[in-house]
Amino acid sequence: MTAATDASRTLWKDGWYAFARRLASPNFGPRPAGTQVDLLVVHSISLPPGRYGGGEVQQLFTNTLDWDADPYFKTIEGMAVSAHFFVTRSGELWQFVSCDDRAWHAGASSWQGRDNCNDFSVGIELEGLEGGPFEPAQYEALASLCAAIAQRYPIAHVAGHEHIAPGRKADPGAAFDWQQLRASLAWPAQIFPVR
């Protein structure tokens, strides 16, 4: 057994990451048979937009959000969505779906000629406003998470929601620092989107 394999077994159990706070979502399904998970998709989310730390994102992903708690929630009422991971402004990491399963984060999407990105990707939501800045703690947590995911899955690409659903989605947006993430990971430039 190699050191990388040993580390992967320590970090992961059935697609759940040891250093994430686990809160299982009902919004997931199986990946198609034989699917290779090789794409990381970075998103941004806050509920309502621009409000942080209230637990509404966790509630949305677990179908427990009170649709009457804020007028904005009426515009998304009934949505059944999830992501594999959520990184709060302070860098706290939550996991909602096993990475061995298909989370419902990408919607109608395509990357390098392959449609339905949910089938072959891991979705990571950063707490933030689309186009707004992110915190240093979030970049640190994101880089550590990406490195850990790459120990278990053959990650070949990292993209934003804006890259896999152009014209429909614009997150994480212009203020997301792709260069910082790339430098933190020391991964080749071709893995990342061309901005």
Run of H or E including 55: none
Coil, strand, or helix at residue 150? helix
CA atoms of 57 and 77, how far apart (whole Å): 13
What's the helix, strand, coil split of the chain in %, to 5? 30, 20, 50
Which one is catalytic: 125, 127, 130, 162?
125
Q: Which of 163, 160, 179, 155 is nearest to 38 (CA)?
A: 155
Q: Is 130 among the catalytic positions?
A: no
Cross-strand pairs, 124: 42, 85
Q: Which residues contact 26 (CB under 8 A, 6 or more apart)?
A: 62, 63, 80
Residues taking part in catalysis: 125
